A and B are shown apart, each in its own frame.
Chain A
């Protein structure tokens, strides 16, 4: 089966600019996650979708971050405006349901200068 697809692979922007990341989960996977991984740290959950509804967005900085999963398939994560501390790898993951293991994409490395 095809894995979780993410794009772009790398992105460099200046602070205060906006950026968007795209994720296409494995076909049939109802649950989609966005994680932020700052260098040297473990991934931190930003938002979790079940189909096209939000299950958990408690750690999403909603003043600048937004995410959507229209039609319950692919998803977009946006940052506007970006700050220096947003420099990180953004990982997308999906799972079939319930206690199924998460499958991760290759991530997008964001550098904010």
Chain B
């Protein structure tokens, strides 16, 4: 079975600083994809960043980057220069070849002015 674990229920960071959200996963698949989604109070899930498991290079999207450690099954999200608009729930998710997307429990991030 595929599982995703986020061990930090809540995190806070000062505006303009850097924060890292942790995620570990378990899957028996060889080919899979990892995602971080952001869910603001509006409830809509917004894709933040995506990583293909077969790629060794860590994905980067503007202020967002990941640290993908395949052997350790770890997939952390780093947010640089945090902004007030980054305040939201963040979900780590694992997607296998069958098209099934499994989410972690979420981390509530608060960016403080």
Q: Are the chains A and B members of one assembly?
A: yes
A interface list, Cβ under 8 A from B? 31, 33, 40-45, 48, 50, 55-56, 89, 91, 93, 95, 98-99, 101-107, 109
> For the complex, what is the distance from the CA of A109 to the CA of B42, rounded to whole Å?
11
In the complex, which residues 42-94 of chain B have their Cβ closer than 8 Å to any Cβ of chain A?
42-47, 50, 52, 91
Chain A residues with CB under 8 A of B105: 41-42
Smallest CB–CB gap between A100 and chain B, Å? 9
Chain A residues with CB under 8 A of B42: 106
> For the complex, what is the distance from the CA of A101 to the CA of B45, rounded to whole Å?
11
Q: Are A102 and B101 in contact (CB under 8 A)?
A: yes
Q: Given A41-B105, A45-B102, output 11 extra A-B contacts at Cβ < 8 Å.
A: A42-B103, A45-B100, A93-B101, A95-B99, A99-B33, A101-B35, A101-B50, A102-B45, A102-B47, A102-B95, A104-B44
Q: What DSSP secondary structure best describes chain A's contact surface?
A: strand
The interface size of chain B toward A, counting residues with CB under 8 Å, comes to 25
> For the complex, what is the distance from the CA of A55 to the CA of B97, rounded to whole Å?
12
B interface list, Cβ under 8 A from A? 4, 6, 33, 35, 37, 42-47, 50, 52, 91, 95, 97-106
* CB within 8 Å: A-B pair count: 58
- 26 A–B contacts, CB within 8 A, in A order: A31-B99, A42-B103, A42-B106, A43-B91, A43-B103, A45-B101, A48-B100, A55-B99, A56-B100, A91-B43, A91-B45, A93-B45, A93-B101, A95-B99, A98-B97, A99-B33, A99-B52, A99-B95, A99-B97, A99-B99, A101-B47, A101-B50, A102-B47, A102-B101, A104-B44, A106-B42
Q: Are B43 and A89 in contact (CB under 8 A)?
A: yes
Chain A residue nearest to B4 (CB atoms) is: A42
Q: Are B106 and A41 in contact (CB under 8 A)?
A: yes
